[in-house]
Amino acid sequence: MDTIVSAVGVIDKAMNLVELLQARPHSLSELVEASGYSRATTHRLLSSLVDHQLVRRDHVGNYDLGWRLVEWGRRAETRWDLAVEARPVLEALRVETGESVQLYVRHGDVRVCALAVDSPDELRTVVQPGARLPLDRGSSGAALTTRLGAQGWVASVGERAPGVASVSAPVIVSGEVVAALGVSGPIERLSEDPGSLHGPQVVTAAVELANRILASRETS
């Protein structure tokens, strides 16, 4: 578990329980074991989270993410300039390449999927928004840490997951890497050289997104 530490311990503990539920539903005993909190503390925090609809009980009594998080997530997306400006760019790139497109942001030592649009093909890669992935594997991780070639994009083949290839480029606004935009799909379609296939398209989309974000901030 990625333990969150701030000045307010009870909130840290509550949010760490929510973090554990990102992967799958858990029973009370599983959450006690995974968190290291006492059973009484874990139950008390979960009961409060359920009251606030941030956590819910499923049909077998396990704890899972609550419906209010869905509502908040949708509202956050409509108010976050990165996500607002990114969606049409991602959707256009999906049409152009026929592949799944993801937008990642850096959070400490991991990258988080901020937005994703999936390929219409039955055989495709799927990354759920909110998924936390390593920075040291996959083209988007390299793009976020500016491990790029002269062409402005970086590609990976089977690096994060077997059978998956990807190519990504950084989204740079006012000299700062704010996100990484990437196309991913099965090696059978993207080949062993996905950069040559889609690299220039990804770079163009990343520049377009950066310009859209900059224009949005200048007019706000």
Give the range among 18-22, 48-52, 164-168, 193-197 with minimum mean pLDDT. Answer: 18-22
Q: What is the CATH number of domain 9-71?
A: 1.10.10.10
What is the rounded CA–CA span in Å between residue 5 and residue 29? 23
Residue spans of the domains in the chain: they are: 9-71, 80-219
What pLDDT, on the 0 to 100 scale, is given for residue 50?
94
Domain covering 80-219, topology: Beta-Lactamase (3.30.450)
Q: Tell me: pLDDT of 96 over 90.
A: yes
Q: Convert the pLDDT of each residue in 149-164 to its tens digit.
A: 789 999 999 988 899 9
Per-residue confidence (pLDDT) for residue 194, from 0 to 100: 95
Whether the CB-CB separation of 61 and 67 falls below 8 Å is answered with: no
Task: Give the other-Cβ count within 10 Å of 122's Cβ.
Answer: 5
| pLDDT for the residue 85 | 87
- How does pLDDT run across 59-85, given as a tens digit for each residue? 999 999 998 887 787 666 655 668 788
Q: What is the pLDDT averaged over residues 165-178?
A: 94
48, 47, 55: which is closest to 21 by C-alpha? 55
pTM over 0.85? The answer is no
Average pLDDT for 139-153:
89
CB contact burial 57-95 (16+ within 10 A = b; e otherwise): eeeeebbebbeebeeeeeeebeeeebbebbeebbeebbe
Q: What does the pLDDT read at residue 38? A: 95
Helix (H) or strand (E) holding 105: strand 100-107
Q: What is the mean pLDDT of residues 76-105?
A: 87
**Locate tokens 């005993």: which residue?**
29
Backbone angles phi, psi at 43, to 5 degrees: -65, -40
* Residue 80: predicted pLDDT: 63
Secondary structure element (H or E) that encloses residue 101, with its range: strand 100-107
CA dihedral 210, 215, 217, 220 (to 10 degrees): -160
Question: Looking at this protein, which amino acid is placed at residue 153?
Answer: W
Q: For residue 60, what pLDDT is reported?
A: 93
- Partners of 112 in the beta sheet? 105, 132
Is 154 in contact with 143 (CB distance < 8 Å)?
Answer: yes
